[in-house]
Amino acid sequence: MHIPDGFIAPQVYAPAYGIAGVLWAAGLRRLRRTLEPAAVPRLAVATAVAYALMLVTIPLPGGTTAHITGVGMMAALFGAWQTFLSLSLVFLIQALMLGDGGVTALPVNALAVGLCGGLAARGALLLIPWRTAALFTAGWIGTVVPAVLVALVLGWQPRLAVAADGQPLFFPFGWSVTLPAIVLPHMLVGVADGLVTVMAWRALGRRSGP
């Protein structure tokens, strides 16, 4: 659900970079303290899987794309902080090398998908006592929550920045378009993400690090 360049006003992405920068620095410090060397190969594999999953995208009329995110998988295996850092790296590589998602929109993508999605997924894992149900829900909600946030951010742009003649300067569609166009498809994509999360847990074993 990457947001491309030119869709987000500076009033949004500039402070988002500030917030994300602080969190990236804090996350890296925490990672150095807590990540066990034995977990590094699994982390590399999971991050590569998330990268590959995000390459398969379907364009949506709301101005973004639908794809499996791997948020639930990362959150189940490594926790919310590592999900945020790993997916931020994935977004950066895809923006610079593939043009999939924008550099200006990078912090919004990272915060919405990596951080908020990771926290939502971790919440499901902590609150649901049945392991398989918790894993599936983590994958589903880790996709749907970011979709809602991305839809809200995009739909806010026409209200935020307009030209003298009233035309939107950045993304032109409001919430009446973005919410159904982005959230509804990702409610279905979340089912696939839930299945991926369950399978990843069974393949890679018990999570480490959070």
Alpha carbon separation from 171 to 12, 52, 153, 160, 180 (Å, rounded): 12, 28, 10, 10, 16
Whether 25 is in a domain gets the answer: yes
Whether 192 is in a domain gets the answer: yes
The pLDDT tens digits for 169-209 are 888 889 998 899 889 989 999 999 999 999 989 887 654 44
For residue 195, what are the domain limits?
10-204
Q: Which of 70, 28, 30 shows the shortest CA–CA distance to 210?
A: 30
Whether 180 is in a domain gets the answer: yes
Please check whether residue 145 is in contact with residue 187, taking contact to mean a CB–CB distance below 8 angstroms: no
Number of domains in the chain: 1
Whether 50 is in a domain gets the answer: yes
What's the CATH code of the domain at 113?
1.10.1760.20
Whether 130 is in a domain gets the answer: yes
Alpha-carbon Rg for the chain in angstroms: 17
The pTM of this model reads 0.88
pLDDT at 202: 87
The pLDDT tens digits for 19-51 are 999 999 998 898 888 877 777 888 888 888 888
**In the structure encoding, which two tokens stand for residue 195, read together?**
């299945």
Question: Is residue 91 scored above 80 in pLDDT?
Answer: yes
Whether 210 is in a domain gets the answer: no
Whether 4 is in a domain gets the answer: no
The pLDDT tens digits for 102-160 are 789 999 999 999 999 999 999 999 999 999 999 999 999 999 999 999 999 999 999 88
Whether 1 is in a domain gets the answer: no
